[in-house]
Amino acid sequence: MRLQEFWSRLAEQFGPLRGETVARDHVFSALGGRTAVEAIEAGLPVRRVWLAICEEYDVPSRER
């Protein structure tokens, strides 16, 4: 998954403003106590970050 696709899916799933908040403010234990943005900047695969968000927010499997 490319970074651009990550941001597009985030906006589609949560809306543009809430998607930004989810990525920048929410701390995920599955990402080592980091936000999604911090995890990506630390080098975690974007797909792994997306899946952690999906798990945390119960995104339906067909939309993952």
The model carries a pTM of 0.92
Number of alpha helices (DSSP H) and beta strands (DSSP E) in the chain: 4, 0
Q: What is the pLDDT of residues 11-53, one digit of tens each?
A: 999 999 999 999 999 999 999 999 999 999 999 999 999 999 9
Q: What is the pLDDT of residue 20?
A: 96
pLDDT at 30: 97
Using alpha carbons, list the distances in angstroms from residue 55 to 50, 64: 9, 9
